[in-house]
Amino acid sequence: MPVARQTYDDAALEYVRHADVSAYNHHYERPAMRRLLTDLAGKRVLDAGCAGGAQSEWLVGRGATVVALDVSDRMVELSRVRIGEGAVVLQADLSLPLPQVPELADGSFDVVMSSLTLHYVDDWSRPLAEFFRLLKPGGTLVFSTHHPSWDRRLVAEDDYFQTGLVEDYWSLSGGIPVGFRFYRKTLAQIVTSVAEAGFVIDSVEEPLPSEDLRTVNLIAYDELRKQPAFLIIQSHRP
């Protein structure tokens, strides 16, 4: 079977279309993340790694004032089309210091949400330090990432403790598997990174699939009932 290796920009539109109907994104990760975010009206929220803007659109619809970031110029463009004037969308690389702009002032956010993004960054100390800086005292950080147990299948000899850069292949539009590279970490490394950045961890979630997934994709539903694909951590700046 042919395999495509595309840049994040190249695959942007295919990825967004896929994620908006996917069992793992639309019916699993997004509902699990959203259950943790309540009382958003009037809150200032950073969507860090907005991709095509689905989470930003949802946040705006619940009354939040949203600033969204993505490393991909193409994803930024797609997000702006999707959200219109509803949010400020900026290009930014989370592995680097964030732009010094008024929209990203110290202590100016109530919530930072980062949906399936941090695993594309090797060293989490930079983005976590920036999230800490941007949040008000008491502000909430909620992020999702690949579950370390799920990703162990991508390393030699199914070795849980083997970390670093891995590659997986996802079938997007057209049915051709597309290769995506990201960084695998153990649970201990993930939790320690959050604590070392100064956050207080409130919950560690291994989400079960939503019931609507049973009718959409029974195979994925049964698989996710036995093994979480993603890990969600909710914490706050003290």
Q: Where are the alpha helices (DSSP H) in the chain?
A: 12-19, 30-35, 54-61, 73-83, 125-134, 148-151, 187-196, 212-216, 218-226
Rounded to 5°, the CA angle 63-109-43 comes to 20
Instruction: Tell me the per-residue pLDDT of 220-232, one tens digit each, with 9 for 90 and over.
Output: 999 999 999 999 9
pLDDT tens across the length of the chain (238 residues): 333 445 567 778 888 888 899 999 999 999 999 999 999 999 999 999 999 999 999 999 999 999 999 999 999 999 999 999 999 999 999 999 999 999 999 999 999 999 999 999 999 999 999 999 999 999 999 999 999 999 998 998 889 999 999 999 887 766 667 788 999 999 999 999 999 999 999 999 999 998 889 999 999 999 999 999 999 999 999 9
pLDDT at 5: 42
Which is nearest to 208 in space by CA: 233, 234, 228, 223? Answer: 228
State the CATH class of domain 7-146+187-230.
alpha beta
pLDDT at 18: 84
145 contacts 116 by C-beta, under 8 angstroms: yes
Residue type, 57: E
Distance between alpha carbon 235 and the CA centroid of its chain, in Å?
15
Sequence-ordered strand ranges (E) for the chain = 4-5, 44-48, 65-70, 87-91, 109-114, 135-146, 164-171, 177-184, 200-205, 230-236
pLDDT at 174: 61
Sequence spans of domains, the chain? 7-146+187-230
Query: How far apart, in whole angstroms, are the C-alpha atoms of residue 125 and residue 123?
Result: 6
First and final C-alpha spacing in the chain: 51
Residue 213 C-beta-side C-alpha neighbours within 13 Å: 23
